[in-house]
Amino acid sequence: MIERSLNQFTVGRLALVVVLGMVPATQALSQGPTQDQAQGQPGSPAQFQYQYQLDAQPPQSQTPSYQGQAWLDQSNGFELPSLMSTGSNAISGEETRLGRAWLRQFRAHVPEWRDPIAQHYVEGLVSRLIPYSDLAGINTAVVMVANPTLNAFAVPGGVIGVNAGLFAFAHDEAEIASVIAHELGHLSQRHYARSQQRAEQTQIPAMAAMLAGLVAAAAGAGDVGLAAMAGTQAAMVQDQLRYSRRYEEEADRVGLQAMANAGYDPQAMIDMFRSMQRMMSLQGDTPPEFLLTHPITESRISDAEDRANQIATGALREDSLEYHLVRARALKAIHHRDSGQAQSILRQDNAPEDAHRYLQALIDAQAGGIDSALATIDALSSAHPDIAMLPATAVQLALDNGRVDDAISRADRQLRLMPGYAPTSMLLAEALLQRDPDRAWRVLSDLARQRPEDPGVFALLAEAAGRSGHEAWGHLARAEQTQLEGDIDRAIRQLDVAEQVARRSSDLNAEIRIREREKAFRDYRETMEKFR
Q: Tell me whether residue 186 is annotated as binding.
A: yes
DSSP 316: P
User: Residue 83, Cβ neighbours under 10 Å: how many?
Assistant: 20
How many Å apart are CA 520 and CA 83, to the nearest integer?
9
Catalytic residue among 172, 173, 183, 289: 183
In DSSP notation, 43-62 reads T-TT----TT-------TTS
How many Å apart are CA 407 and CA 424, to the nearest integer?
10
Catalytic residue among 55, 112, 252, 480: 252
How many Å apart are CA 424 and CA 122, to the nearest integer?
17
**Residue 275: which residues within 8 A CB-CB, separation 6 or more?**
169
How many Å apart are CA 392 and CA 521, to the nearest integer?
34
How many Å apart are CA 154 and CA 72, to the nearest integer?
30
How many Å apart are CA 281 and CA 287, to the nearest integer?
8
- Judge whether 400 counts as a catalytic residue: no
Compute φ and ψ for 161, nearest 5 degrees: -115, 140
DSSP 154: E
- Judge whether 487 counts as a catalytic residue: no
How many Å apart are CA 495 and CA 521, to the nearest integer?
9
CB 187 within 8 A of CB 137: no
How many Å apart are CA 278 and CA 313, to the nearest integer?
28
Give me the helices (H) in 83-142, please.
93-109, 116-129
DSSP 112: B
Residue 209: CA atoms inside 13 Å, Cβ hemisphere, count?
Answer: 17
Q: Which residues are annotated as a binding site for Zn(2+)?
A: 182, 186, 248
Q: Which residues are annotated as a binding site?
A: 182, 186, 248
Residues marked as catalytic: 183, 252
